[in-house]
A = this chain, B = another copy of it.
Amino acid sequence: MGVPLIMVVTKFNEELPKATAKRLPQYYRIFKQLVADKVDRTNSQEIAKKLGVDSATVRRDFSLFGELGRRGYGYDTVALRNFFSNLLGDSAETNIALVGVGNLGRALIHYRFHDRNKMRITQAYDVAGNPLVGTKTEDGVPVYNISDIKKNLADTNIETAIISVQSDRAQEVADILIDAGIKGILNFTPRRLEVSDDITVQSVDLTSELQTLLFFMQDKKASNQ
């Protein structure tokens, strides 16, 4: 991945709560925006409001990293932006491979991860039957035959991959990716992947996201009756 291994600051250790870890990209985005808007400092209430959580959550999250702010002053936006940038490894370029160049795969290739972050899909893969294999997408990303992935990745520092194939191929693709040296997978299928402990999987299940929305809508209606 080419990211410096920072075993971060004062209190940060392997027991960082998963919920906190998931908020890190959002904190980073908020501080980047504040710096872009030329706001010099902020406080936990304002951050909490932007994030849609309560301010105690923000203070508790930040306290895990040590002293990020000063009492009575709040948080320096440039310092905090840089802090979260380092924490998320966003100071280094991260190249990513994508497997499954269907509708979703093409949308993800086109999605502007790189506009505000140093992450970029640089290679795409599909099976020989996909007519895009051997061509480049409209965004200039080459589409290779999945059978070439191990050979191709050996020449790169790519350790991160996106799976956007049909569910029933997801595990097979994950096994191929791991065999080719991939350490982290962003999984867009509803299939839960079986991987060894040294592999990280982050899943985005679109059906679950939609069901969660419907559940909260229903719950809100019932509470208001």
Question: Do residues A200 and B222 form an inter-chain contact, with CB atoms below 8 A?
Answer: no
Question: Do residues A160 and B7 form an inter-chain contact, with CB atoms below 8 A?
Answer: no
A51 CA / B192 CA spacing, docked (Å): 8
Q: Considering the complex, give the chain B residue whose CB is closest to the CB of A224.
A: B198
How many copies of this chain are found per oligomer?
2
Interface centre among A26, A104, A209, A217, by most B CB within 10 Å? A217
Number of residues from A at the complex interface, CB < 8 A: 71
Per the 8 Å Cβ criterion, residues 193-214 of A in contact with B are 198, 200-202, 204-214
Quick one: given A16-B219, A19-B19, A29-B190, are A211 and B24 in contact (CB under 8 Å)? yes
| Chain A contacts to B: CB under 8 angstroms | 1, 3, 5-7, 14, 16, 19, 21-22, 24-26, 28-29, 50-52, 87-90, 94, 96, 102-104, 106-108, 110-111, 113, 116-117, 119, 159-160, 162, 183-186, 190, 192, 198, 200-202, 204-225
